[in-house]
Amino acid sequence: MSKLLNNKTHNKKVKIVKKLESFTPLGFFKNNDYFSMFYKSSLSLNDIYLINNKNGDINNFSLKNKEKINIKNGLFGKNIDLEKINNITYSEINNTKIITFFYIDTKTKEKKLYLAVNKGKDNTNWKINNTFMEIKESAGVISDYIFDKKIYMYYGDSNISTAFSSNLGKWYKDKDSVLKKRPGFFDNNNLKFLGTKIIDRGILVFYDSSYKVNKSLKIQIGLAMFSLNDPNKIIWRSDDAIFENEIPFENDFESKGMVFDNDQFTIYWHSKKTGILSATLNLPFTNNLDSKLFQKLEKHDNNPIISPDSFENINNVSKNEIKKWTANGTFNPTAINLGEKIHLLFRAVGEDGISRIGYSDSLDGFNFDDTHCKPVFYLKRSHFGRGHMKDKYDPVLYESGGSWGGCEDPRVTKIDDRIYMIFNAFDGWDFIRVAYTSIKEKDFLNNNWDWDKPRLISPQGEINKNWVIFPEKINGKFAILHSLTPNIQIDYINRLEDLESGKAKIKSKYERKLKSKSWDTWIRGVGPSPLKTEDGWLVFYHAVTADETHKYKLGVLLLDLNDPTRIIARATAPILTPDMWYENDSKPGIVYACGAIIKGDSLYIYYGGGDKHVCVATASLKEFINNLKNSKDQTPSIKKVKFS
């Protein structure tokens, strides 16, 4: 007895370690009023369960009423090994429930795509009736869609293709991919099929084009629309990702499906370390978000509207005269709507490498056939006391639009009875300052180019560009917007002349800091002069993305009318991107807007393409502003999914 009592190990308590349970989602779908999830538990890998979300919370799933799933192989009459199943996509056609899923061989890691059906009232008993020997990629049958007596599916993990069947049994692959990677766009990476949604305008196809950037994963979701009368005919595709975010890279992080709920959709992702994440967005092309937000601005079919070769068909005397000062580029136009005409002032670079200002006008805003043979404004060296350059001009050596001096990138606005033109005075990179001149409205309309003496208004010794004057005085003062980063900076000046004399001075702060949670990771500067609308000031600006720093893109802000430093709305994606040939000509990847006007119910944006051409893009003003105001809701955060 005493030996037993003295034995320490006899009374030592044995600690039982409870194995923690983890969950691996396999797929998601809308089940009546619930969001439902197929999942595996780490405690029972040979089983698949179905659970619903809790209390309407799409990020909280209840484990109390979980149901076990049975999948019988109808081809051989046996149950299959559920541990090998992954990536379930749910569809419905004529009250028949359909799932497609991967069956993965644990030894060879080879994927096979299976299709199972359920014609009962529950979601637990499934019967496999087809194996796709040739398709080994993510796939989903289009719900509630039959065309020409055929059922269709989209599939793909690299490019996206279609297949069709008349009875869910034998399937036929279409030969060509319907969605491919696009060089120069956000989706120049593998395209993984996510899901489809039928709307009255067409078939929406969502895809994942995420990729690794250093130690991060850049999440990018793309969208295309196909014709209801031909699932292979694309009728629209997003220029930019409809959702993007950046998270720390994990090798097993992947999208796990999406759920549609009225005018919204939710995407789910998973990795072993992070768990399950989700993001909810408004569904495009519905009342919540009109298509124009995704179409951005519509580029004119006849772009470019002015180019250096636009003057080939005029008489020889005029052609030779124009060529001298336009030979190397006509671009970065500003515009004003006066006297029932759209007046365009554009930057032109001549054979001598000097930038001057040209003029043309139009009744409709598209056809500018009456370009003046001579520049309407140019700088003389004596204006600012600079000496003459003796170097030989070489456009390759000069990056400021290919010129080595002159007046660049005009922005024009009307205040009272005068037209003010603000521009960049450039005389080599040791001298670049903001300047302005003005002219009486009457002289401007009569083409009597009696400009006032040009005046420098940015501080000496600093490099400043991209300043604009508001088209009306605010509290009796000129309002100059001179920076957008780190915040909106506006100075109010009694007299513009005071900036030249030194009685007033603008201290502009520019922060070249990359942001990580928006498309405009590096804001370069403001574009055209602000446009006043009843909803606020429209301010367009140039910015680049972290992964495409060589491409200038156009963004837009809506500012408060009474306090223009307050942002009402900001577009969550670029409204203009350089994807046409004329935007990749002399200097690839450039859209640079200096002009914006309102004509009737339409918004016109005039911009330079590729530092060589004058271009225009338009939109319905009402739709543009409505979508801009709605776009602030289109910046969803990624949230963690929990179980209870």
Looking at the DSSP bridge assignments, the partners of residue 147 are 150
Determine the residue type at 427: D
Of 163-167, 304-308, 601-605, the one with minimum mean pLDDT is 163-167
Backbone angles phi, psi at 628, to 5 degrees: -65, -45
Give residue for tokens 């003496």.
453
Say how far apart CA 295 and CA 275 lie, in whole Å.
35
- Largest Cα span, the chain: 125
Q: Is 305 helix (H, G, I), strand (E, B) or coil?
A: coil
Type of residue at 490: I
3-state secondary structure 429-495: CCCEEEEEEEEEHHHHHCCCCCCCCCEECCCCCCCCCCCEECCCCECCEEEEEEECCCCCEEEEECC
Tokens, residue 580: 């046409």
Cα-based distances in Å from 140 to 143, 166, 194, 205, 383? 9, 16, 8, 10, 68
Cα–Cα dist 100/116, whole Å: 6
Distance, CA of 220 to CA of 243 (rounded, Å): 6
CA gap 476, 492 in Å, rounded? 9
- Three-state SS at 408: strand
Which pLDDT score is estimated for 9? 35
Mean pLDDT, to the nearest integer, of 380-397?
48
Tens-place pLDDT, residues 21-49: 788 999 999 988 889 999 998 888 889 99
Residue 601, both tokens: 């119910």
**Greatest mean pLDDT among 167-176, 310-319, 374-383, 431-440:** 431-440
- Residue 430 is predicted with a pLDDT of 58
Assess contact for 531 and 537: CB atoms under 8 A: yes
SS3 615: strand
Superfamily of domain 298-634: Glycosyl hydrolase domain; family 43 (2.115.10.20)
* Residue 117 CB coordination number (10 Å): 18
Domain definitions of the chain by residue range: 25-289, 298-634
Detail the DSSP E strand segments found in 467-547.
Answer: 468-469, 478-483, 489-493, 522-526, 531-533, 536-545
CA 255 → CA 49, 54, 226, distances in Å? 19, 22, 22
pLDDT value at residue 97: 94
C-alpha closest to that of 427 among 447, 454, 448:
454
Query: Domain 25-289 is in which class?
Result: mainly beta
Strands, DSSP E only, in 105-138?
A: 111-118, 125-132
SS3 170: coil
Helix (H) or strand (E) holding 182: none
pLDDT digits (tens, 9 = 90+) for 312-355: 766 655 778 888 999 999 999 999 999 999 999 999 999 888 99
First vs last C-alpha separation in the chain = 50
DSSP per-residue letters across 323-343: HHHHTTEEEEEEEEEETTEEE
What is each CA distance from 115 to 95, 140, 243, 440, in whole angstroms? Answer: 16, 9, 30, 74
The Cα angle at residue 383 between residues 378 and 387, in degrees rounded to 5: 100
Structure-token match 């809308």, residue found: 30
C-alpha to C-alpha distance for 562 and 568, rounded to whole angstroms: 12
Asked whether residue 397 carries a pLDDT value surpassing 80, the answer given is: no
Mean pLDDT score across all residues of the chain: 85
Comparison of pLDDT for 403 and 439, the residue scoring more: 439
The dihedral built from the CA positions of residue 304, 306, 310 and 314, taken in this order, carries a sign that is positive
pLDDT of residue 402: 55
pLDDT above 50 (res 10): no
The whole-angstrom separation of Cα 592 and Cα 51 is: 52
The percent of residues in the chain predicted with pLDDT above 70, rounded, is 86
Q: Is-contact 209 182, C-beta < 8 A?
A: no
- In the chain, what percentage of residues exceed pLDDT 90? 56
CA torsion sign for 127, 129, 134, 140 is negative
How many angstroms from the chain centroid is the CA of residue 354?
Answer: 35
Of 104, 224, 209, nearest in space to 162 by CA: 224
CB 194, CB 203: distance < 8 Å: no
**Within a 10 A sphere around the Cβ of 9, how many other Cβ atoms?**
5
395 pLDDT tier (thresholds 50, 70, 90): very low
25-289 and 298-634 in the same fold: yes
pLDDT in tens, 453-483: 999 999 888 878 899 999 999 999 999 999 9
Q: What is the dihedral of CA 69, 74, 76, 81, to 10 degrees?
A: -20
CA distance 596 to 531: 7
Range from 75-84, 499-508, 531-540 carrying the lowest mean pLDDT: 75-84
Q: Which residue has the higher pLDDT, 45 or 230?
A: 230
